[in-house]
Amino acid sequence: MAAAASATMSMARATGYPAASAQGGDAVAEKPLTPMPKDSIAGDERPWIAEALANVSEEVRTYNDHLTILASPWMEGRLPGTPGMERAMEYMEYYFHQYGLQAPFPKEVENSDGTIAVQSNASYRQPFRLGAVATVKRAVLEVRGGAGIEQPEFEHGAAKDFTVTTLGSGGSVTAPAVFIGYSIDGGPNGYTSFPDDLDLEGKIAVMLRFEPIGPNGWSQWRNGEEGWTGRTAFTGKIRAAADRGAAGILIVNPPGTQDKRAQQLRPPGGTASSLQNVPVLHMTTEAGERLIAQAFGDRTLEDVRRSADAGQFALPFPGEMHIEAKIEQEQTRAENIVAVLPGKGRLADQYITIGAHLDHLGMGLFGSRDNAQAGKKLHPGADDNASGSAGILLIAQKMAEAYAQHGGDLRSIVFLGFSAEESGLHGSQYYVENPVAPLEKHMLMMNFDMIGRITEKSLSLSGLETGHGLAEFVMPIVERSPLNVVAKGNPKGASDHTKFEGVGMPVLFAIIENFHGDYHTPQDVSSLINRVDAVHAANLFYDIAMAAAERPDTFLFKPGSERPVEESDRARGRTVGPSVRLGVSLSNPSDLVVTGVSPGSTAAEADVRAGDTIVEWNGAPVTDLLALLRASKVGDEVALTVMREGQRVVLESVPLQARGISSTPKSPAKPTAEPQASVAASNSPRAGSRVMFGIRPVYGDTAGGVLAESVTAGSPAAEAGLKAGDRVLSWNGEEIDGARALGGLLGGAKPGDEIQIVIERDGKEMTKKVTLRARGDGS
């Protein structure tokens, strides 16, 4: 540990803090001091930390040391594979060793004779492979000679004027270029960017970002409302051009929009997966102005944008355009930091896991919510998640001291500093596949993610209903905390605990209740952390963990189907579903893994795929997807961030359609009384309905409309051509929201009524006419 100790001392000197000591302060302490509230060191007051620390407990000063060093520039934003992350791992290792925790993994060492020996229980590191990180090595864009171009050769400056994105591939292309407007096929009222005679084969497609712009600077298809309709996603635009044979793509930010993203470029490189095997460049509005002016003389970018607003506008560039994009993929590796506090007596072979992710975004080449600073400025990740990692170190120290004095039976504790959480929960996934002891010996997982910016003393603690008896056990401890703990039965958020819940383990997850806008930006700095309340959060977990370590009985896992509905999901005694549709099915509402995408939905159009994990909604972490859907309205657009095969992919401008989201249970669940009644209303002569329609709905599906599990042979539905797998969306122009709504419509119908329905089949909508008949009439 000498190297780790040296690194720790070096970091302490670099940041001005002795590591985990009672000393600490900012270099600016000689400035006028801001009054400090008695029980909070919060960012709103911005006190000078040196004075504040003189008036708090030793625990708070120790926590401050850990937090400040982990969020310091020395740690370089703790991106896996960087020297900064190496220092952060050494720091956590050093203190695990200082606290006397066991290293659970073997380590190779070189003997004096050059041979390699393997020492058991010699390493805290659990290495695993990550996906590739893309780095742009060359970026060239030239406009070459042709009639009407004042300068025969014009080269735009990369970084300032354009970026090479990882939405495409590397490559070199010299070809004619064609301006194709917004690259949208299938807009309202027959709008298309592609005239019938347009030939894009082998050419460079130059397109505008977003969609046709109205007088208010937003979509002209929103009838004067702000926002977009959903045809703005990069995925659809790129695919439309590439499918027509484009050899290269240049996306230009348009003038005249109120969307602030028009002032930003996608950062070069990162981890986004390539959508098409052609180079894809992204250009600023100002560079686009110069490009158009030099190509067409008296035309401006706004001129051609207005022409594109009308549709079917293609404008060939004179001469040729040359694109060079060199993108190199480098495989990366990450390491969890794992330590074990051995238990005692008859409970020693059972384990409690306490974890927090140690990694963050580095310079923000991926995952940054500040596009202007992405890849340019350090993202320190003080709240996300230096705050949680510092909490783990504090708990580890306290539990090691308590265990040393304890004479009774105690469970073993596994302390985990996860890596690669930000890129897709890879560290926690690897641990559950390679635990230090069999998973059936793990009784509880406790996870911290962002506990540093507590306001109004509010902390979210979720997962209390994941284990039988867990809520009853935890709540008396919660009530003793000085925090206002917002307790929730189902675990919230896409953080590391979801991987443990996914293998049938009870979990508890703590995170700030009130989110802030500095998440995933360079503004997530240590001076804004509420150190006092973060320590209260850590002490809450310490108290729960100590009590659980002593408890004779385990907590049997409670699957989602057995958990009560949250009060936030109720209104006047009935379950409230979202009014909008995203078009995805989830394996479990809490783990946010997409198991299916409805064909023809806007999620499908935006390239959401089965296997994606939804991690962000408009740049903020997703803690309750259903709540976000309930708070949205039809036509709203969101930017979704998903994790896909180890890559972080941002899907911009995903529109929300009418109706809800499906949650597909991992195993078949018994239908509740209400769906049974709904089916009876549509298919059973005992339900009081006078008419027959003839479909059996899929129980539990709430992805919009009614999904037909089967169609009764000879029924009106069968005669109208309906098939199993069709989704009935509307009934005489009225949207249908589930089997109950269909049952109500049937209850108000009479034999002989001719109904016009709209169904969805294989991603396409079609209209059918159904003539209802009396029950028993040919059925």
What are 710-765's pLDDT values in tens digits? 788 888 999 999 998 888 887 876 667 666 667 767 766 778 888 889 888 876 77
pLDDT of amino acid 183: 96
| pLDDT above 70 (res 119) | yes
Residue 186: the pLDDT is 82
What was the pLDDT predicted at 628? Answer: 77
The residue with greater pLDDT, 147 or 254, is 254
Neighbours of 437 (CB within 10 A): 14
Q: Contact 210/252 with Cβ under 8 angstroms?
A: no
Q: Which whole number is the average pLDDT over 464-470?
A: 95
Mean pLDDT (whole number) for 199-214: 97
Give the pLDDT band (50/70/90) at residue 14: very low
Give the DSSP H/E element, type plus range, for residue 768: strand 764-771
What are the tens digits of pLDDT across the range 428-437?
Answer: 999 999 999 9
Q: What is the pLDDT of residue 317?
A: 94
Task: Report CA dihedral (30, 32, 34, 39) to the nearest 10 degrees.
Answer: 30
218-238 tens-digit pLDDT: 999 988 888 888 788 888 899
- The pTM of the whole model exceeds 0.75: no
Residue type, 235: T
Give pLDDT, residue 156: 64
Cα–Cα distance for residue pair 223/212, rounded to 1 Å: 12
**pLDDT (mean) for 155-170:** 81
Q: Which domains does the chain have, with CATH numbers?
A: 2-102+342-550 (3.40.630.10), 133-328 (3.50.30.30), 567-663 (2.30.42.10), 673-774 (2.30.42.10)
**Sequential DSSP letters for 159-203:** TTTEEE-TTS--EEEEE-EEE-TT--BS-GGG-BS--TT---TTS
Task: State percent of the chain over pLDDT 90.
Answer: 49
Percent share of the chain, pLDDT over 70: 79
Output the CA–CA distances (angstroms, integers) from residue 211 to 181, 259, 300, 323, 489, in the order listed: 9, 11, 18, 25, 42
Widest CA span in the chain: 94
Structure confidence at residue 535 as a pLDDT band (50, 70, 90): very high
Tokens 């606290």 sit on residue:
99
- The answer to whether residue 243 scores a pLDDT higher than 50 is yes
Contact between 420 and 496 under an 8 Å Cβ cutoff? The reply is: no
pLDDT-wise least confident of 297-311, 315-329, 681-695: 681-695
Are 535 and 393 spatial neighbours (Cβ–Cβ below 8 Å)? no
> Which residues pair with residue 281 across a beta bridge?
164, 250
258-270 tens-digit pLDDT: 998 899 888 776 6
Question: Between 305 and 605, where is the model more confident?
Answer: 305
Closest CA to 36 of 23, 26, 46: 46
Question: Given a cut of 60, is residue 35 above it in pLDDT?
Answer: no
Q: Per-residue pLDDT tens for 405-452?
A: 999 999 999 999 999 999 889 999 999 999 999 999 999 999 999 999
